Amino acid sequence: MNIGEKLSRSVDISERITRVLQQRLQVATERFQSRTNAAYSAIGSGAAAWMAWPQYAVDCAQRALIFWDTLRQRGNNFIEHTQKGLPPVLSFEYDMIADGRRFERAVNYALVAIKPPQGVSVDAKRRPYVIIDPRAGHGPGIGGFKDDSQVGVALAAGHPVYFVIFFRDPEPGQTLLDVCAAEEKFVRMVRERHPQSPKPAIVGNCQGGWAAMMLAAADPDDTGPIVINGAPMSYWGGAWNEGAGDNPMRYAGGMLGGTWLASLTSDLGDGVFNPDEIDVSRELRSVIALRDDVLDEVTQLYFERRRTLAQLAQPASEAEAAALRLRSAELAAGIDAWTGGWFSRALRSPATPRIGGSR
């Protein structure tokens, strides 16, 4: 694909994304107006609204007190949980199988084997389940904080269950690649413990779903079915229209740099975000914004030069032809200014393909 086709496709993708966003904003605005009109209709006259004001004030005060009391309880729970050493919030007993903090490349992750509760039997030959928890919430164990959970359902069906927990603080120098490598070790350990079973099913919740997909891509021979719940990925969503293959979310992710920004800032801070990393992120966003501005400017100059060359093919007079040639040279100089002279070098190169019969 030559530069002209690339620039044309970039412009087309930008226009499509803009149309999709405009449609979504229009739908959101229409729904907001509809709900607002319905609310005004329910109130009725202005006098009725003033009569309802004391009731609204009382309700607002009550909700505020309940909100602050919830924050108080959350703070007390956090202090109590910290004083206990930040144990997992699993409602099941477990045995520690591997502590990633003791690996050669230490990470703050560990693999535990869930003990079946009383009255539940597990068949070691059935497919084991490996559940990866998200790095969110009050602590590890969201997938098994009650009996009616992923852990509980898998145990009730007779499957061995393993859980990937995490500790609050990352290990010094750990990276996302280290975490992925540790999870590969965890899966291999599970397979070694169940040599006669099918490959383990990997269940990833939220960010854990992202980790599960990375794990499956890095080590497909050891992983079985992958189940992702609420993971930050939806390759199938957001097509332009019914049956369309293009995906605006995928293109938006590509134009924003993909996942390298999150990976870089995480690795720079050893897995911890602090003001220094936030400043770095702001600088990176500025660089990306500058790149987009440069691309837009070069695209406009390029296609304006194409239009000028098209007019130059059939000038109305010699004076107009001279003016068009001067404008073409001016636009080429503008593109050179943005590309460091690359455009003129590409025009002089015999290997550069012609676009539309002209360069």
Across the beta sheet with 201-205, what order do the strands follow?
94-99, 109-114, 161-166, 129-132, 201-205, 226-229
Q: Is residue 88 part of a domain?
A: no
Residues 183 and 162 in one domain: yes
Segment among 109-118, 189-198, 200-209 with least mean pLDDT: 200-209
Residue 355 pLDDT: 43
Q: Tell me the pTM.
A: 0.56
Residue 184 binned pLDDT confidence (cut-offs 50, 70, 90) = very high
208 and 249 in a single domain? The answer is no
Q: What confidence tens digit (pLDDT) does each residue in 142-172 have? A: 667 777 788 888 988 999 999 998 887 888 8
CA-nearest of 107, 109, 273 to 174 is 107
Q: What is the pLDDT confidence band of residue 136, given thresholds at 50, 70 and 90? A: low
Per-residue pLDDT tens digits for 51-108: 778 888 899 999 999 999 999 998 998 899 888 887 887 888 899 999 999 999 999 8
pLDDT in tens, 213-272: 888 888 888 888 988 887 766 554 555 555 555 555 666 666 666 667 767 766 776 666
**Same structural domain, 318 and 345:** yes
Tell me the CATH number at 191.
Answer: 3.40.50.1820
Give the count of domains, the chain: 2
Looking at the structure, tell me whether residues 259 and 345 fall in a common domain.
yes
Query: Does residue 119 fall inside a structural domain?
Result: yes
What does the pLDDT look like over 292-346, one tens digit per residue?
777 788 888 888 888 888 888 888 888 888 888 898 888 888 888 888 888 888 8
Residue 300 inside a domain? The answer is yes
Range of the domain at 197: 94-229
